[in-house]
Amino acid sequence: MKAEKIRNLTDVELKHQERELTDQLFRLRFQLQMGQTESLKKIRALRRDIARVKTILRQQELAAQAETK
């Protein structure tokens, strides 16, 4: 997922997206441990997407704090 696409989402949508990505990552890790999949690329991509979402959430939070000061 591209960062620009993530930036256009609201806070609620971002938190929902983070939750969904985390669930997907859990399922992929579980499948990996069970030997059902070998999709390391998907796991890496999901981890990066989660990091992007968290980073943008934090940036928006800091921007909101700067506006209130």
pLDDT tens string, the chain, 69 residues long: the values are 788 888 899 999 999 999 999 999 999 999 999 998 888 999 999 999 999 999 999 999 999 999 987
pLDDT confidence of residue 21: 97
pLDDT confidence of residue 13: 94
Quote the DSSP letter at residue 9.
Answer: S
pLDDT confidence of residue 47: 96
Contact 16, 34 (CB under 8 A): no
What CATH number is attached to the domain comprising 59?
A: 1.10.287.310
pLDDT confidence of residue 37: 80
Q: Name the 3-class secondary structure at 54.
A: helix
Q: Name the 3-class secondary structure at 2.
A: coil
pLDDT confidence of residue 4: 87
The domain in which residue 48 lies consists of: 3-68
**What total of structural domains would you count in the chain?**
1
Side-chain-side CA neighbours of residue 6 (13 Å): 22
